[in-house]
Chains A and B, each alone.
Chain A
Amino acid sequence: MITGHAPVTVRNLPFLGFRKETATEFLPTGLDPVDQLLGGCPRGQITEITGPESSGRTSLLHAVLASAGARGEYCAVVDTTDSFDPVTAADSGVSLETLVWVRCRGNLEHAVKSADLLLHAGGFGVVALDLCDAPEAAVRRIPISWWHRFRLAVEQSGVVFVVLAAGPQAKSCAAQAADLRAGEARFTGRYPHYLLAGARYTVESRRPVRPGQAGFHVEASRVS
């Protein structure tokens, strides 16, 4: 007869261990209207930034990287299509001294594996996976299991994992999803001499669904 084990009863069930909800810490983007709408980027969760070309996705990513860099945190950018510009990133305040840049030259598999390695390395404040210019069909073929793997790795490391894409990719694994809309470029000057002065972009929170939208303005580097 087996002894020494308490019988499992309904009373014991609450102690079997459901995952406890913990307070989420947010990394502010440094853009006040966006922080008011989204609250920042949640640590230990996936943030998805989506939108068409020239909708401010990369500018928003630079803001997040600059905010983390200002806190002395290490950041990593996995650049699927080799499109990251360190010059405009540095102009936005991104600390290149603590930035790891992985150039995947269009190889989506390398990009996904690199992001996975960086997430599991630990110690990074922000890891960004840039899928913006990758072929949409190829990005959609990333198995959902990879996104679950990313979610688990992010939960354990407490890193801010930002995914940039043209459309939603991380599905239910993204705790926060922000949709950006094509911005309005601002030109100054008179015909025929114009100057690109900046652009204004609009953000909506798709996940969790929040009413309203936020706008943010960025200056063009040529002006400064």
Chain B
Amino acid sequence: MYACIYLPGAGPAACERLALLAQDFSPQVEVAAADTVVFDIAPLGRLMGAPLKIGSEIARQAHHRKLDGRIGIAATPDTAILAARNLLGVTVVPPGAERDILGGLQLTALPVDRETIGILNRWGIRTLGQFCELPETGVMERLGARGLDLLRLARGGRVRPVKPDRQVASYEDRVEIEHPVSLLEPLMQLLSRQVAELCGRLSRQSMAATELRLKLDLVSKQAHERILRLPFATRDARSLIRLLQLDLEAHPPRSPVLAMTLEFVPVEPRVVQHDLYIPPQPEPENLELTLEKIRGMVGADHAGSPRLLDTHRRDAWKMLPRPPGQSLVAGREPRGGIQLAFRYWRPPVPARVEVEDGLPRRVSSRVVRGPVEQAAGPWRGSGDWWNSLVWDREEWDVRILGGALYRVVRIVPVREWVLEGAYD
């Protein structure tokens, strides 16, 4: 069953309110015209009962919102529109009773041009009831496909799904606060309500958010703006509230808050196809929340996934905010087996190296001290001389007597030695 609300003379603002009213009853809302919305109410049958009860509830809610209009309920969207536009109050058209209820309407009730009405009038047909009596074949022969479509509409047999207009829904909410809020906890309580409301709208529209834009108007007349780009599309209010809280803890506003505007950027929800042969992976929401919590402790750039840079410079990588993931299921083999691992000391430890015959003979530093048993090198490297990252160095792999394997580096421009780390 479908319901239609018709509010004669409604403007764009009233149309948006009509759509929001309809969204409270169904996620499938079609704005048929500026003054007409039609939506699917079939699932409400179990919850609210007979169509008349549903119609009464819609009328009650509409009255509460000062949107008193006409309501039509029928088996198809177009019949519901026909009933709402042409009959007063709440009209329920049960399936099969279309001719009885709508038969008395004039032909002008149909969305039809004057020329066709003129033809039908010349045939002596003035009402929908009379039009419904005509045979389909004859109408098809004389008026074509358009005429047949009109006949089916008049009989209540034109079946089509509603066409939800997703542009109608607004995913922005603004709250103005009477007294400035300076603590995070009360601010989060207000934000939680906003997030829950917007997530409800997303849910009703079968959408999800991939970006959150928060604008806080401060007492200092400045605006504190935060944009959270999510690696996944979600409408899980709990995760979003937690992410907002973690972000505001890391980047708090500088003065009390007077008003806040929260906006969601809607996208199609992600569809996950589970597979027995794909190994378990962290849930994107969980992973993002966990990384945000960890970043709150260790710092923004100290948790993520390393990406190697295309350079010969040592220790060259950048931190991505999250692991990008790989599409392959399995089968990537290590390249040439396990390699000797290196452990960096960041920052490197200054050292004094005694050199004889061009080979390091003794290393002294605050962590390692002793004669060099064996040394391999030097490995000379330089680069980035065209920018500020210029590097020029000589590397030695040294084994300290009775000790471990280290890498000592001579920084050529300053002629200083450092211990860069150990092989392990």
Contacts and interface: CB of A to CB of B under 8 A. Distances in A.
B339 A219 contact: yes
Given A99-B323, A121-B286, A189-B376, A72 B329 contact: yes
A54 B405 contact: yes
Interface stretch (A7-15, A18-26, A145-153, A194-202): A194-202
Interface stretch (B101-109, B226-234, B255-263, B341-349): B341-349
B337 to A, nearest CB: 6
B49 interface: no
Interface stretch (B19-27, B79-87, B292-300): B292-300
Interface residues of A, number: 74
Nearest to B375: A194
B298 A105 contact: yes
A102 B335 CA distance: 25
B142 interface: no
Contacts of A28: none
A92 interface: yes
B332 A95 contact: yes
A144 interface: no
Most-contacted residue by chain A among B293, B324, B334, B379 (CB, 10 A): B334
A196 B376 contact: yes
A204 B335 CA distance: 27
A117 B337 CA distance: 32
Contacts of B344: 82-85
Interface stretch (B39-47, B173-181, B303-311): B303-311
B302 A104 contact: yes
B304 A59 contact: no
Given A83-B345, A196-B405, A104 B298 contact: yes
Given A90-B308, A91-B335, A95-B332, A54 B424 contact: yes
A96 B304 CA distance: 10
15 contacts: A31-B338, A52-B404, A55-B424, A69-B332, A74-B281, A82-B344, A83-B343, A83-B346, A84-B343, A91-B335, A96-B305, A101-B306, A102-B302, A219-B340, A221-B342
Interface of B: 278-283, 286-287, 289-291, 293-294, 297-299, 302-308, 314-317, 319, 322-326, 328-346, 357-359, 374-377, 379, 397, 399, 403-405, 421-424
Interface of A: 30-31, 52-59, 61-63, 66, 69-74, 82-93, 95-105, 107, 110, 113-114, 117-118, 120-125, 132-133, 182, 185, 187, 189, 192, 194-196, 198-199, 216, 218-222, 224
Q: Considering the complex of A and B, which 6 residue pairs feature the smallest CB-CB distances, nearest first?
A: A93-B334, A123-B282, A54-B404, A58-B341, A86-B306, A58-B424
Given A90-B308, A122-B280, 18 more contacts: A74-B323, A82-B344, A87-B316, A88-B341, A91-B336, A92-B337, A93-B332, A93-B335, A96-B323, A97-B323, A99-B323, A101-B304, A102-B298, A103-B303, A118-B294, A133-B343, A192-B358, A198-B340
